Amino acid sequence: MQFVDWVIVAAYCVLSLGIGFFFAKRAGRSLADFVLSGRGLPWWLAGTSMVATTFAADTPLAVTGIVRTKGIAGNWFWWNLVMSSMLWAFFYARLWRRAGVLTDVEFIELRYSGRPAAFLRGLKACYSAILINCIVLGWVILAMTKIGRAVFGLSRTAAISLPILGWEVPADSAITVLCILLALTYSVLSGMWGVVVTDFIQFAVAMFGSIALAVIAVGHIGGIAAIRPMLLSSAAAPASVLRFAPQPEAGKLALMTFGVYLGVQWWAFRNADGGEYIGLRAMSCRTEKDARLAILWYSFAHYVLRPWPWILVAIVSIVVYPNLADPEMGYPRMMMDFLPVGLRGLMVASILAAFMSTVDTHLHWGASYLSNDIYKRFLRPQAGEKEYVLASRISMVVMAALAVWASSIMNSIEWAWKFLVAIGAGVGPVYLLRWYWWRINAWSEISAMVCSLTAALVIFWFTPLGGREYEGVRLLIIVAVSTIAWLSVTFLSRPTHPDNLRNFCERVRVGGPGWRSVEQAAGLSSGRRGMWDILGAVSGGVFIYTSLFALGKLLLGFPWTAWAPIAITAGIAGAAVVVCLRE
């Protein structure tokens, strides 16, 4: 890193802080302004913020580790969630917007009734804000720590002395904490508006940096045409590294995991109905149409545009660094070894942008739970709006400290990813059905959450199934245990009070056979889209996958006969999506 590089990084940091100060007054007016930007976001800003949030410092490192150990096909671990995104866009985005709640946890007491609903609201607020956030932010911080080592050339044992306190702290952790403080400062000041505006800038910077690195990395080995011959001659390359799906020689367990990805994980995961920070963005949109378009733009940018620069760099890193002890370090090593002065600073700024775009969203998302669903709901229900905004800001500081602690006990980003998937496996069906079936109640959700978490902890700590190769088996067991538990509890417990069910129907207007008895009893009717939503979701999934594969084959130098038919299919599917959106 030269002086010019540091000037670029410093300019980016000053810009982020400036945005925070600019939106501070608007964010402080009320909790709704702080959490949901006054429900005034356009689709392009909300969607880009979703993409930026899932583009963290850990993501290119984790993808590099996956490609180096499993090949391109290993990315099905997250590619399988395309259909989940289509469900969000065509079924749930408009429902979240209609619900009119401040958080997806507040939705619980709109949908359910009585003490079980209040208990679930408090439980889920703490579970998501503290446990889930600590895991996610922990691995993001771990990734930034690894990048800090590469940027500054630090060893794991390098330390910085703090004479006033008499402490010695790890140098890489100290650098990461400074980055967190920067993200924390503008997030605390500006609320949702500051978060989404900085996310927009951060996404642009991060994408430019990752594309620039991919172009330079591929040029270093002689261009696209040289990739395949070099991989074939490299002993470090995994078998079938350029395959887009696992091959029979990968083994039964690998093929089973691939089947679980495609057939189970995308609907069984805890965010199946688009809640959490995705739901928060949808609820912040100006209209139902904006909410839907935001998720469609997010899906295209997230699955089609973002991954290929990372994958190309990961493939080149196999050739350049065949014997890395930590496969995830291939990405930061490529950054520091091959980028020229100026671009190196821009790339570091882009990684810092990716890091902060995730930190700011998760701190803001968690604070919305602690302020709205704990402090306002249970502790100070009669307090003023200024006090609730202050509670949100204090919550962010507390969560940032917990996240730093969580990162100190993590070793692998990929392991943390998969543990998070495991503890949320099995709750997805409850989240999907609670919108469409009146019989789901608060105890259904509670039992699904507790059983999934318990089963995951038992498997990871007390059985050999916690290993990487047993991922598919592990997810099937957790989903089966959770499903048996919540179905049994649903039919053994009392249903939600009829008044809550009627109010829910009136506000959200879901319709369908799962609500027919409630609507008939209350004399209600609701609009239904039916087959257009199904056709839109299927067409959207085909469009995203074919676009992803066509672009990948083009960038990897496959002949036009390999990618052109896929591109034509993508065009037809895209046209079908447009038609479904207009109907």
Per-residue pLDDT of 85-122, as tens digits, reads 999 999 999 899 888 888 889 999 999 999 999 999 99
CA nearest 329: which of 403, 247, 412? 412
The answer to whether residue 475 scores a pLDDT higher than 90 is: no
CB 368 within 8 A of CB 32: no
Residues 205-228 have a mean pLDDT of 86
* Rounded percentage of the chain residues whose pLDDT exceeds 90: 28
Q: Which ranges of 301-342 does DSSP label H, i.e. alpha helix?
A: 307-320, 330-338
**Confidence bin at 558 (pLDDT 50/70/90):** confident
pLDDT classification of 320: cutoffs 50, 70, 90: confident
| CA 45 to mean position of chain CA atoms | 17
Domain topology for 3-496? Sodium/glucose cotransporter (1.20.1730)
Among 544, 523, 512, residue whose Cα is nearest residue 432: 512
3 state SS for 442-455: HHHHHHHHHHHHHH
Residue 37 has pLDDT above 80, yes or no: no
pTM score, two decimals? 0.85
pLDDT beyond 70 at 304: yes
pLDDT, tens digit, 9 for 90 and up, residues 495-541: 999 999 999 988 888 878 888 888 887 777 665 567 888 999 999 99
Residue where the block lists tokens 């506000």: 507
pLDDT given at position 322: 83
**pLDDT over threshold 80, residue 571:** yes
d(CA 48, CA 53): 9
User: Would you state the pLDDT for residue 158?
Assistant: 66
pLDDT band at 48 (very low <50, low <70, confident <90, very high): very high
Is pLDDT larger for residue 258 or for residue 547?
A: 547
pLDDT digits (tens, 9 = 90+) for 357-401: 788 788 888 888 999 999 999 999 888 888 988 888 898 888 888
The pLDDT of 560-582, averaged and rounded, is 91
Which residue spans within 139-204 are E strands per DSSP?
A: 159-162, 167-170
Mean pLDDT over residues 53-73, rounded?
Answer: 83
Q: What's the pLDDT tens digit per position in 423-443?
A: 888 899 999 999 999 999 999
d(CA 274, CA 86): 10
pLDDT at position 178: 77
pLDDT, position 446: 95
pLDDT at 549: 94
Q: How confident is the model at residue 7 (pLDDT cuts 50, 70, 90)?
A: confident
- The average confidence (pLDDT) of the chain is 84
* pLDDT score recorded for residue 375: 93
Residue 393: predicted pLDDT:
86
Q: What is the rounded average pLDDT of the residues 10-34?
A: 75
Say yes or no to pLDDT of 413 above 70: no
Note the pLDDT tens digit of each residue in 123-171.
Answer: 999 998 888 888 888 877 877 777 777 777 766 666 666 555 455 666 6
pLDDT at 443: 95
Which of 175-189, 292-306, 429-443 is the least confident region? 175-189
Greater confidence, 8 or 111? Answer: 111
Q: Assign residue 357 a region: left if phi > 0, alpha if psi is -120 to 50, beta otherwise?
A: alpha
| pLDDT over 80 at 253, yes or no | no
As a whole number of angstroms, the longest Cα–Cα distance in the chain is: 73
Q: How confident is the model over 262-272, as pLDDT tens digits? A: 888 888 888 88
Confidence of residue 577 (pLDDT cuts 50, 70, 90): very high
